[in-house]
Amino acid sequence: MKVNSPLANMEIGIGEIRRRGSHLILRSEAGSSMDAEISVSASEVLRTIGRVLATPSGLVFVLGLPVFWLREKFGAGPDAAAAATTRRSDINKPW
């Protein structure tokens, strides 16, 4: 996933998912530009799922997920050209 903020633009992949009490813990994968641990509560997960499914674009994305995944995997479609020209940014090497 890509994170764009005033502080930094980075790419973080989810490597490990665990449960700690009533929270879901997402840890970044080894190749991510920043080591991160994200703690998500049960209410945040339900709120996020509800918001995604309540919007037309979110619902279309969920229903079209197999198609979008195949496009990404096999490099077809307009997103492939953008992905090919975008290189992974490293927060420690901004130049």
Q: What is the pLDDT along the chain (95 residues), one digit of tens a residue?
A: 888 888 888 888 899 999 999 999 999 998 777 788 999 999 999 999 999 999 999 999 999 999 999 998 898 655 555 555 455 555 555 54
Terminal CA-to-CA distance of the chain, rounded, Å?
21
Token couple for 91:
């927060």
3-state secondary structure of 72: helix
Residue 33 neighbours by CB distance under 10 Å: 19
CB 10 within 8 A of CB 2: yes
Q: What is the pLDDT of residue 80?
A: 52
Q: Where are the alpha helices (DSSP H) in the chain?
A: 42-54, 56-63, 65-74, 78-85
